[in-house]
Chains A and B, each alone.
Chain A
Amino acid sequence: MPRGNQKEYSVQQMITEKRLKKKNHFNFEKLIPGLLLLTAVLSVLTTIGIVFTLIFETFIFFDRVSIIEFFTNKKWYPFSATDASFGIMPLVVGTLKVTGIAAVVAVPIGLATAIYLSEYASEKARRIIKPILEVLAGIPTIVYGFFALTFVTPILKQLIPSLETFNALSPGIVVGIMITPMVASLSEDAMSSVPRSIREGAFALGATKLETTIKVILPAAVSGITASVVLALSRAIGETMIVSVAGGSTPNASFDVTSSIQTMTAYIVQVSTGDAGYQTTIYYSIYAVGMTLFLFTLFMNLFAQFITRKFKEEY
């Protein structure tokens, strides 16, 4: 058959062509892991950036305000022109008050929800309830702040007449509502991963569902549950908008929950929205406060990871 002008191919030629192509390809292939590594390293750089930013600016702050005053002074009056005092204590107490109230709300409700979903609910109920809880977890915190100020505070005022417009109780409760889905879903994961055979063993001994849950499932899942609570509380400590909107801006170290407070995060917001100039002591103080906040959450996150790794039960 006539082949016309079709190009003649020799196998040899094809192999050399392929080899040439492969050589170019090879370089590209070698380049890719490097490029991808670069993007991965960026997340490490972010952490390094955060740590170094906080450390450098905090050092400048401690040049102006002694570190001893920062930790021991019980007053936080940064805006006073004549007698400014920088003692972190009131901000920490404010933060812990809100976090404590949030824990009182979120731990029992979150755990009970987790128990219901993991042990009692039918497959159908679980399929309906879980996505709704996910919605609750996805609501922006500014919306919760609005809810705390315009709905929860007025209701609480009816119950406690001495309650101030800005207080620790209302944002505390709402932060608790915000972290409840987190406690519920992480604890439920921990309980669901307890194998069926262990449950059935308890049932076979005549235990009711409640007895099985309390005496068998909860102890078996305790590491996961603890980790979920620690993670949720770390989220509560770092929560900003709810406490800024409904908590007020009066730092005080008392344990009264009805009066106006200021948390670490709310202070950073107050300075950022105010007109404190660049490179003033007040400007650097937000880094010192941010550093304290960062260390709090970092240790809690590491603690949660430690618990999960150390006490993980393998079935």
Chain B
Amino acid sequence: MQKLVDKEIIAKQMSSRIIRNQMFKGLFFLSTLFGLLVLGVLFYRIITQGIGYIDLDFFQNFASRRPENAGIKAAFIGTIWLMVVVAPVSLILGVGTAIYLEEYAKKNKFTSFIKLNISNLAGVPSIVFGLLGLTIFVRALALERSVLAAGLTMSLLVLPVIIVASQEAIRSVPKELREASFAMGATKWQTVLKVVLPAAIPGILTGGILALSRAIGETAPLIVIGIPMFVAFLPKTIMDTFTVLPMQIYNWTSRPQTEFQDVAAAGILVMLVLLILMNSIAVFIRNHFQKRY
């Protein structure tokens, strides 16, 4: 009987294709590993360089011309001051916009223009927001190089992140919840405030924390609005000038002495720990409070 399927020939023809498939699989996997490897090297370098400078004095000292005395007190407290402005401003504006777009906006050209505008705003380089802040907040509104001017600039920068996250959170609240609320005689705003928002809060918070951690690490806009890098005092009100962690790190990195690079690494370490902490909180909220409908 004639063989309809010659396994040997097929195996011969297939083997090269299968081998090629395996080779490329390995190649794709190695490329994926590259990103993870870089992350590992980066963390290793920063920890080994910076850990030596981290002690209690590092948190209690102001910036200094001598590396052994340099500390991040002004920058660390300054970052917290910045957050005090950015968090409420960006959350109120971002969540307000998201509620409007998801619950109230009619489907018309104006609404789609706002949406297009937000997605374009997300793509504007951060340094351009710095130019906006310099012209509007620092010069035109005469806020000078204050916590308020920097905070408002940063709020506008992270606004698209919060809007998009809040929109998604609000959208994922099922229609039935709203309709049940309406059926009980609640008005639109009562429904939004007491039914939709509580259900969407975990998603909004997660987005908000991620936006804040972006604001903590952002340097370029603050450089443009002229926030100083060498500060030996703490701000008393939001109208005082200040500095933040990434500015201090930039200052240390661009100094020629190699000791200051280790100090910069220590500063980076503090900032990264802060960011990882915030991200963990975001992940925790996402995993434990987010309801799936």
A contacts, CB < 8 Å to B:
25, 28-29, 32-33, 35-44, 46-47, 49-50, 53-54, 57, 108-109, 112-113, 115-117, 120-121, 129, 131-133, 135-136, 138-143, 145-147, 149-151, 177, 180-181, 184, 208-211, 231, 234-235, 237-241, 244-245, 265, 268-269, 272-273, 278, 286-287, 290, 293-294, 297-298, 300-302, 305
Contact = CB atoms under 8 A, between A and B. Distances in A.
A141 B223 CA distance: 14
Interface string B91-114: 011001101110011000000011
A43 B31 contact: no
B42 A180 contact: no
Given A36-B100, A43-B118, A150-B261, A29 B189 contact: yes
B28 A120 contact: yes
B254 A245 contact: yes
Q: Secondary structure of the B side of the interface?
A: helix
Contacts of A43: 93, 97, 114, 117-118, 121, 159-160, 163
Contacts of B120: 47, 298, 301-302
A180 B246 CA distance: 22
A29 B188 contact: yes
Nearest to A113: B32
Contacts of B279: 135, 138
Contacts of A54: 128, 131
A269 B224 contact: yes
Contacts of B213: 138
B249 interface: yes
Chain B interface size, under 10 / 10 to 19 / 20 to 34 / 35 or more? 35 or more
Given A37-B104, A43-B121, 18 more contacts: A28-B189, A38-B96, A39-B96, A47-B121, A50-B128, A133-B36, A142-B250, A146-B249, A146-B261, A150-B265, A209-B21, A210-B17, A240-B223, A241-B246, A265-B127, A265-B220, A290-B127, A293-B125
Contacts of A35: 96
Contacts of A33: 100, 104
Contacts of A28: 189
A238 B127 contact: yes
A42 to B, nearest CB: 6
Contacts, number: 243
Contact of B35 (A113, A278, A297): A113
Given A40-B97, A146-B268, A147-B42, A115 B28 contact: yes
A115 B25 CA distance: 9
Contacts of A146: 46, 249, 253, 261, 264-265, 268
Interface in B46-98: 46, 49, 92-93, 96-97
A46 B131 contact: no
B34 interface: yes
B121 A39 contact: no
Contacts of A241: 219-220, 246, 250
